[in-house]
Every structure is written in C-alpha cells, then in structure tokens.
Amino acid sequence: KASLIVGSSIPTSILMSLIVMTRAGFTLNIITMSGLVLGVGMMVDNSIVVLESCFRAMDKQQDKGALGYAKAALEGTNIVVASIFGSTVTTCVVFNGMSGQMFGAMGYTIVFCMCASLLSAIAIVPLCYMMYKPKERSSAPATRPLTFLQDAYRKIMPVLLKHKAIVMLASVGIIVANGVPGKRHADGVNDRR
C-alpha cells in the first residue's frame, strides 16, 4: 500500500504539470519532454518524505484506528511541510537558473513538475495514507541486509569519531589520490594503476 501511495504521486504530478504547461503555452517537444524526464525522477522524493513522516507519527499515536491514521497524516505532514517546501524551492531555483538560461521551456517544465509534486505530497499522500491505512512490514526481503548495515554503522561510528584526525587525513589522501592523473598510453586512455 505504501508503494502504491508513493507511486500515485507520479501520474498525478505529471497530469498537473501537463495542465500547467498547456496553460503556459508550451507544447510537447524534445525540450519539454526532457524537462518531464528530469522532473519524474524527483517527483517521488517529497511523497516519500511525507509518507515516512506519517509512519513515524503513527508510531507515536495511542489510537491505532481510523482516527489515529487521520491524526498521524495531519501531524506527519505538518512536521515536514516546511522542509519539503524549502527543498522544492531550492531545486526550482537551481533548475530554472541553469537550464532556464539555455532552454527556457525545460526549466519551466521542471519547475512545474516540482511544484506539482509538492502539491501532491502535501494533499494527496496524507489523504491516501488516511484512507488505505498502510502498515510497515518488518519481514520484507531487504530487511535483514539493511539491519546488518545499520548495526555495522552503529558499531563503527563511535570508533571513527574517537579518531577524527586519522579519518580526515585518510579522506584527504583519497581525494588527492583520485585527482592525480595517470600515465597516458599511446591511445590516450589514462592508466591509474
């Protein structure tokens, strides 16, 4: 159910974007389709953040019934609405500035997609969460590897934080080693061995 809720934000956002594009006088061409392709990849981000916040809010609810889901949907959305708004505005400014200079329609299309995904995340995702009442599964196939990685991360971080200087020197060394150009072969391909 959670995947369907997040997946529903893609067609909804695309439909809203196409409506706004039509009202703005844009047609479907290579430039606007490229903007839609770039926008689709970022459409689900806001919905995932809102849905995860709803799950966390539901964990804190005493009432696990329909009223609990409604409260969790409202509370979860309120917690992250400022964050996803700021993230969306930042993305819109970056894409409209970069691609808007060269391809005006592409930049505007990405902005339309991001604004539609924001609207979908704060209006449709909480409504679907309240209606479908999804539950988090702890028996998913990826649970065991993710739990292993989380446990390993929790064990190694205190050790790394005690040796900050060594970690910083190793990080700088890796960056410098990646920046050193390798020997050139006759065919012009770099060799970094």
Which tens digit of pLDDT belongs to each residue from 26-74?
888 888 888 888 888 788 889 999 999 999 898 887 777 778 888 999 9
Percent of the chain with pLDDT over 70: 88
Which tens digit of pLDDT belongs to each residue from 121-150?
999 999 999 988 888 776 777 778 888 888
Q: Which of 20, 39, 29 has the alpha carbon at shortest distance from 107? A: 39
With a CB cutoff of 8 Å and minimum separation 6, the contacts of 111 are 92, 95, 96
Give strand ranges (E) for the chain.
183-184, 190-191
pLDDT at 193: 52
Distance CA 61, CA 67 (A): 10
Distance CA 14, CA 40 (A): 8
Residues linked to residue 184 through DSSP beta bridges, in sequence order: 190
Check: CB of residue 84 under 8 Å from CB of residue 118: yes
Q: Residue 175: is its pLDDT beyond 80?
A: yes
pLDDT at 152: 92
Distance CA 62, CA 76 (A): 15
- Amino acid occupying residue 92: C
Q: Report the SS3 class of residue 134.
A: coil
- With tokens 């981000």, the residue in question is 45
User: Between 2-24 and 30-60, two packed helices, what is the crossing angle to 10 degrees?
Assistant: 140
